[in-house]
Amino acid sequence: MKPTVKQLKVIEFLEQQLKFWKNTNDIGSPTHVGDITEFSQFLKDDFSVEEVLSVEILATELYLSITEIE
């Protein structure tokens, strides 16, 4: 089964975040967590509040996991 439209939007959101982190000059900057929340607001038109929060949590956990790797 192919990804749904909403699943594709989440994947695209995560791809954008990963590209930001890949190209940053300060991976540990707290700005990145704020950016997750800021950019997730673009999902509000197609997602419920709970779904947006779920995506934010997922992206934040992914970011924090990446920053813990030395």
Q: What is the pLDDT of residues 15-29, one digit of tens each?
A: 999 999 999 999 999
Paired tokens of 46: 């197609």
How far, in Å, CA of 28 to CA of 55, rounded?
A: 20
How far, in Å, CA of 61 to CA of 65, rounded?
A: 6
Number of Cα atoms under 13 Å in the Cβ half of residue 63: 27
pLDDT confidence of residue 70: 87
> Residue 4: pLDDT above 90?
yes
Domain that holds residue 43: 5-68
Report angle CA 53, 9, 60 to the nearest 5 degrees: 40
pLDDT in tens, 21-54: 999 999 999 999 999 999 999 999 999 999 999 9
- pTM (2 decimals)? 0.91
Q: What total of structural domains would you count in the chain? A: 1
